[in-house]
Amino acid sequence: MLDTPIGPLQCGVNEPGEVVFINFVAGRGAKDLPGAVADPRRLQRLTIQLREFFDGSRTEFDLPLSPRGTEFQKQVWSVLRRIPFGSTRSYQEIATTIGRPAATRAVGAANGSNPIPIVVPCHRVIGSNGSLTGFGGGLPVKRWLLEHEAGIARLRF
């Protein structure tokens, strides 16, 4: 369990040390994911990078990932990883980027089932009208993450 400014996060990696999930524990409790281990030594790289993200010294993650999902979900998650720090994209923009402009709802569902939030920045996806939409950690957490990144981006860029 990692204590963060947005609440405790439960993290899991597989045997080779690839990140398989980050879970918002507040209001949900911890979960088990088959094949994931919570070995502090294997989690050390993820823990360090998350702490750096929260203290403002990291804007990009450099971690091996192994999210479980469909090919479509993995395609969406890959696009999410390319959203620049401090920026946002709409579900429609993501759908267009993957060549499926009519798949806005499917993109929303894939975004919502992202098992590695923050590192795969699903919080950077917003409604076409600029509104904050659903987020696994709750809208206050999504707002905090976006404001955190925007503040750091203003200072750095």
Nearest to 92 by CA among 136, 140, 133, 59: 133
Kindly provide the b/e burial profile for residues 76-106, where b requires at least 16 CB atoms within 10 angstroms of the residue's own CB: bbebbeebebbebbbbbbbbbbbeeeebbeb
- Four-residue CA torsion sign, 142, 12, 109, 50: positive
Q: Is 42 exposed, middle or buried (0-12, 13-18, 19+ CB in 10 A)?
A: buried
99's CB contacts (< 8 A; 6+ apart) are none
Q: Which amino acid does the sequence have at 19?
A: V
Active site residues: 122
